[in-house]
Amino acid sequence: MFKGSITALITPFTQDGAIDEKAFQSFVDWQLKQGTTGVVPVGTTGESPTLSHAEHHRVVELALEVAKGRGPVIAGTGSNSTAEAISLTRHAQNAGADAALVVTPYYNKPGQRGLYAHYKAIHDATDIPIVIYNIPGRSVVDMSVDTMAQLSKLPRIVGVKDATSDLERPALTRLAAGADFCQLSGEDGTIVPFLAQGGHGCISVTSNIAPKLCAELHAAWAAGNIAKVQELNYRLLPVHKAMFCETSPGPVKYAAELLGLCGSHMRLPMVEITEESKQRVESALRTAGILS
């Protein structure tokens, strides 16, 4: 069971656009030292759509070199091509990842039967645990609770990253798929009610730049310290909002640069965030005590 604060890792780039391997591995090491439960390389926060297959493979391998044995590595392996998703998932499996995070197919807009067939094909072609990534805001399609419950019956479909912001969804999914089906929020701002409705953790953007605070919130929840949970939730909420003042990962990469963790360079079509957004990000970090 995956649980707690899991970071959807950014991918640092050098000024000339190459992957900054040294900064990335240093960043993964810092994450785990700060209390992050696990890491997700090459998810959408890691700008996976702009990486070549060779770069995608390399980032997974870099994360595993640092994190393996210290926390689970859930590699992003999704695609709107089932064959490509199978290929990326096989690489993650062979590299030693603990699981694969597979986003619902974007642009194609498959129906529920197509979604089921897509995930079953990936499941049947690999031997690694698979976490469904349901994010209608980016992929346009929304996997229904019924479809997810059907997929949960396959032995290695183990959970979901739920980025629907529908706070009925974790309770309905728990009833349909069972308490052992791992539910991880994909929306930082809703994590507390998500946990209250049956969730187990969060694959987080904010934990890129506030890993200790995010980990402390989940630890407080596990300990039943609701007062501490509320204190941390209120402290982090403006940061969560600032991380999405523009399309992610622009704001979180700028925040990482402010903290001296890596550069904020992105690949087109993503561009540098505006000065107004920069001010909002910096203000949120200072208010939360993340930036002095």
**Is 203 annotated as ligand-binding?**
yes
The question of whether 228 is a catalytic residue gets the answer no
Rounded to whole angstroms, what are the CA distances from 152 to 18, 135, 148? 38, 18, 6
- Judge whether 250 and 281 are in contact, CB under 8 Å: no
Q: Taking the C-alpha atoms of 10, 165, 37 and 78 in order, what is their torsion angle to the nearest 10 degrees?
A: -50
- Judge whether 20 and 9 are in contact, CB under 8 Å: no
Write 59-63 long-range contacts (CB < 8 A, 24+): 59/11, 59/19, 59/24, 60/91, 60/92, 60/95, 60/97, 61/95, 62/21, 62/24, 62/25, 62/28, 63/9, 63/24, 63/25, 63/28, 63/39
Please report how the helices 145-152 and 112-125 are oriented relative to each other, as an axis angle in degrees rounded to 10: 20
- Judge whether 102 and 119 are in contact, CB under 8 Å: yes
Residue whose entry in the numeric block shows the structure tokens 């402010």:
258
The question of whether 278 is a catalytic residue gets the answer no
Distance from C-alpha of 130 to C-alpha of 122, rounded to nearest angstrom: 9
Angle at 76 between CA 241 and CA 48, to 5 degrees: 70
Kindly name the residue from 3, 161, 253, 278 that is annotated as catalytic. 161
**Is 273 annotated as ligand-binding?**
no
Kindly name the residue from 116, 119, 133, 254 that is annotated as catalytic. 133
The DSSP H or E segment spanning 257 is: helix 250-258
- Judge whether 200 and 5 are in contact, CB under 8 Å: no
Which residues are known to be catalytic? 133, 161
Known binding residues are 45, 203
Known binding residues for pyruvate are 45, 203
